[in-house]
Amino acid sequence: MIRPILLYGSPILRKEAQLVDVNDPTLPQLIQDLWDTMYNAEGVGLAAPQIGVSLQVFVVDAAPLQPPDEPPFKGIFINPQIIGSSPTCVPHEEGCLSIPGLREKIYRPDSIEVFYYDENGQPVQARFAGIVARIIQHEYDHLLGRLFIDYLSPIKKQLIRARLREIQQGLIEVQYPTL
């Protein structure tokens, strides 16, 4: 089911999400809703708090942004923890379905090690690099109540203030249901 995406200004986006019981019978539906909502909005990742559910789960389908020589990555991350990251940070332009119309260059570690549970409740530990690592870090931040704009310099934050206010007031035209 496609659900409305919470926009910047919504308090849930700033809350730390709660751990998920991997045996929770409502979990498969939540995951399906995340996929439906993400694909409808043409996103490459979506975290549960973005559809108003303050639980530690997000989905990623990086295929549209991956280089053609990379195997397409699609995954479900439940109760994830980033347990390691490369010392090298690289810049990349990021956007967010909760902050429509805004894209900014953000520096993040180039590769990360993640521990999480998959949709079958199985623990997984894996290393990710490049654009996949980028998307995972962005979505992981949502579970901690962080947004990519938090990484901007004070000057840059000042420059986007008016735009953020417009988003908050619902003045930005968006091609998917929002709340």
Q: How far apart are CA 17 and CA 39, in angstroms?
A: 22
Q: Which residue is nearest to Zn ion (CB)?
A: 96
- Which range, of 31-39, 95-103, 113-121, 168-176, touches Zn ion by CB under 5 A? 95-103
CB 148 within 8 A of CB 93: no
User: Per rule CB under 5 A, is residue 17 in the interface with Zn ion?
Assistant: no
Q: How far apart are CA 64 and CA 168, in angstroms?
A: 28
Find the catalytic residue in 42, 139, 166, 173: 139
93 assigned to active site = no
User: Per rule CB under 5 A, is residue 96 in the interface with Zn ion?
Assistant: yes
Number of residues that bind Zn ion (CB under 5 A): 1
Q: How far apart are CA 167 and CA 94, in angstroms?
A: 17
The contact mask relative to Zn ion for 43-82 (x = CB under 5 A, - = no) is ----------------------------------------
Q: How far apart are CA 157 and CA 35, in angstroms?
A: 31
CB 135 within 8 A of CB 62: yes
Give contact residues for Zn ion (rule: CB under 5 A). 96
Active site amino acids: 139
